[in-house]
A and B are shown apart, each in its own frame.
Chain A
Amino acid sequence: MVNGKESAELPALILKLKARDFIDDSSRFNMLANYVGEYSKSLFEKQDRAENLVSTVLYELISYAVGIAEEQSVVNISFGRNEDDMSFVIASEVKKSSVPKLQELKRSLQNNKAESLYIKLLQSKEYGFSLEGDFGLYMVVNDYNANIDLNYDSAANKFEIRVSVSIKEI
């Protein structure tokens, strides 16, 4: 499939990986994001820009997902494109201590607060690093005009993040 001429059936790529693998070796976030970016670039006309976008967005999603996932759980990742959009889906089990954080994010997304929170972060006078925060996801929503759906099944203790980005963003 070259230059997106044949439209891919969604998803193009499905991966099942252990959350533990990423916790043990954080360079795997980079490895995986770059792999998916490079693997899927031939689905797009502007290949280098597409590779850069896919890797960047996926990196933030996996980092967030692994950060809230149960350490022993499997993280399901899929990526694909259709005519107008590309789709990223990440699902796993959430660790109990991360449930409030997940719900907080869900509320922000439902109230369309992510973009304004991102702008607020950029404009605030606060200093200090937060490696556990939602900054990456807010950045994806604001800078890539991404739509994020977050589903949390409290009975099964599972979450799913579905992200859609328009091809026009490439």
Chain B
Amino acid sequence: MMISNNTYNLKFDPVDQEICFSGNLRVNKVAELEKIYDFMEKVHDSMEGVMRLNFRRMKYVDANGLQAIMLFLKYAKAKDKLDIKLIVSNVLTWAEKTLYSFSKISDRIEFVIHDQNFYGSQSIIEDQDFIPLLRNQTKLLWPLEREVLIKHGLAKGMRVADICSGCGDTSLLVARELNPSMIVGVDHSTAGVGFAMERQNEFKVRNAEFRLGDASSLMLEDNSFDFVICRLSIQIFSKPMDIMRELYRITKTGGRIYVTGEDYDMIVGSPHQEEIRNVYNMAGGYGTDMGMDLYNGRKLYSMLRDMKLSDIRTDHIVVDTVNSDRDAFAEMVESWKHFSAETISSELNLDQSTKTKLLAGYDTHLKAIKYPHGYSTWTVVAASGEKKSA
């Protein structure tokens, strides 16, 4: 069941008992408003329990469209049959403000900001302090990943999306070195997007654009990108398939989805290999406690298979102390040490002895990296697949 015109779309999803609103609901015809109202009323009358109204992809609504929603909420209040959930994204100012007011119409209306605390580690991942860690990772990965991206099909002139683009370093490198016609970077971190825009301006990069957005509900058209990147991000979300579905939706038929993930079992070092393994076992476990999956790299192939992608390609991007600068490698592990032993420890209220163990483990790893005879690796799994025609 759905209604739409060329600017908006209201689609009923029976699985979640949800009407998904998308597009731009600025309407100036009473007949059109009545159609929208009738649709909501009909859906309302057909169900029991909870009805969800999901506005995460509705960019604009005018006062007329709002009246249709308001009248429906009054109808639902008068019927007193269902609990209503108004689901919004905090990227959309209108929804956060006006639908909050509308939630006061009835006690049976709940106002839900979907992308507030929608993954366990959100507050720290989206913080300004996380940017140095992202930058250090990119510095090490890019020289190796550049070739992997080409091998996986990223070519000149393509329209590319970088979902969960973080502070935008990789998007800007792709824009400058691989010459897509356009790369659109989307991230949910205001600090990250702000940083990316400043860099874009500083580097005068014309073929890139950055947007604040929710990766599980992207404000991007269906079938609009030749190559869709999502790097080291699926692993931090508790519902990775919500994001994978969006990557699939925005990819053109024949286009490719490229994802990467870490696998903490593949971080090794010598000397003191046991101590090094021990710290990443601990860190991987605490990541799980924060809702992350730091062993996600090994699962990417299956995820792409589940999405019925074809021509699946996989690669290991192996950063080691031979192919990469030891100081840069050490700097990245220093960022991890800070993130894990300070930020995550404090989030999880870890006791002092655990924190000390973590710090000691990272220090051992740092020694192995800095020691000229020492050796260490950090492996990232890259996987991509082609979207087939329906």
Contact = CB atoms under 8 A, between A and B. Distances in A.
Interface residues of A, number: 41
A56 B213 contact: no
Given A49-B93, A56-B93, A135-B67, A29 B198 contact: no
B293 to A, nearest CB: 28
Interface residues of B, number: 40
A55 interface: yes
B101 A122 contact: yes
Nearest to A136: B63
A45 interface: yes
Contacts of B74: 124-125, 127
A60 B34 CA distance: 20
Contact of A52 (B71, B93, B197): B93
B70 interface: yes
Contacts of B60: 30, 33-34, 52, 55-56, 59
A2 B97 CA distance: 26
A50 B194 CA distance: 13
A142 interface: yes
Interface string A128-139: 111101011001
Contacts of B91: 48-49, 52
Contacts, number: 97
A154 interface: no
A52 B101 contact: no
A139 B66 contact: yes
A53 interface: yes
Contact of B30 (A49, A53, A56, A129): A129
B105 A123 contact: yes
B93 A170 contact: yes
Among B24, B26, B66, B100: residue with most chain A CB under 10 A: B26
A83 interface: no
A48 B210 CA distance: 10
A143 B201 contact: no
B197 A3 contact: yes
A131 B28 CA distance: 7
Among A56, A119, A127, A139: residue with most chain B CB under 10 A: A56
Given A2-B198, A125-B78, A143-B98, A60 B68 contact: no
Interface of B is mostly: helix
A56 B24 contact: no
Contacts of A119: 104
A116 interface: no
B136 interface: no
Given A3-B198, A46-B190, A52-B59, A130 B67 contact: yes
B190 A144 contact: no
A47 interface: yes
A118 B66 CA distance: 12
A53 B59 CA distance: 11
Nearest to B210: A47
B339 interface: no
A63 interface: yes
A110 interface: no
B93 A135 contact: no
A26 interface: yes
B210 to A, nearest CB: 9
A29 B26 contact: yes
A132 to B, nearest CB: 10
Contact of A139 (B59, B98, B197): B98
10 closest Cβ contacts across the A-B interface? Answer: A136-B63, A48-B212, A143-B97, A52-B93, A53-B93, A56-B94, A135-B63, A49-B93, A143-B98, A26-B28
Interface of A: 2-3, 26, 29-30, 33-34, 45-50, 52-53, 55-56, 59-60, 63, 118-119, 121-125, 127-131, 133, 135-136, 139, 142-144, 169-170
26 contacts: A3-B194, A26-B28, A30-B7, A33-B60, A48-B91, A49-B93, A49-B212, A52-B59, A52-B93, A52-B94, A56-B60, A56-B94, A118-B101, A119-B104, A121-B70, A122-B101, A124-B74, A125-B78, A127-B75, A129-B33, A129-B34, A131-B28, A131-B30, A136-B62, A139-B98, A143-B101
Given A30-B60, A49-B92, A131-B30, 14 more contacts: A34-B60, A48-B211, A49-B212, A52-B59, A52-B91, A56-B60, A59-B60, A119-B104, A121-B70, A127-B74, A129-B67, A135-B63, A136-B62, A139-B98
